[in-house]
Amino acid sequence: MFGIGMPELIIIFVIALIVIGPQKLPDLARSLGRGLAEFKRATDDFKQSVQEESRAADEKEKIAQDVAEKEKTAEMEKGPAEKKETAA
């Protein structure tokens, strides 16, 4: 956890207790927890939307490749028939 061990966390807690006071410390911790939860929720939403956009782009690319492949196949099948018609 960022190279912070248990002794460092205890020192930080004691300093926060001295500076903020025991009455306001639970409120501050609660607000910090809510803020972190909201940040995590926003991060997850952003990650999900990026993954959805990536998936949509991949599907679009695959569809374009399939269409190009079908057009090429259609031209190959059509090619010999057109040659016979022009020769006649």
Please give the full DSSP string across 29-64, using - where no structure is assigned. HHHHHHHHHHHHHHHHHHHHHHHHHHHHHHHHHHHH
Is residue 53 scored above 50 in pLDDT? yes
Asked whether residue 7 is assigned to any structural domain, the reply reads no
Contact (CB, 8 A) for 31 and 22:
no
Domain holding 41, by residue range, is 21-81
Asked whether residue 15 is assigned to any structural domain, the reply reads no
Asked whether residue 64 is assigned to any structural domain, the reply reads yes
Asked whether residue 12 is assigned to any structural domain, the reply reads no
Binning pLDDT at 50, 70 and 90, where does residue 1 land?
very low
Asked whether residue 39 is assigned to any structural domain, the reply reads yes
Asked whether residue 37 is assigned to any structural domain, the reply reads yes
In whole numbers, what is the pLDDT of the chain averaged over residues? 86
Binning pLDDT at 50, 70 and 90, where does residue 87 land?
low
Asked whether residue 35 is assigned to any structural domain, the reply reads yes
Asked whether residue 67 is assigned to any structural domain, the reply reads yes
Helices (runs of H) and strands (runs of E) counted in the chain: 2, 0
Nearest to 13 by CA among 30, 1, 31, 25: 25
Number of domains in the chain: 1
For 58-80, b/e burial (b = at least 16 CB within 10 A) is: eeeeeeeeeeeeeeeeeeeeeee
Residue % of the chain over a pLDDT of 70: 86
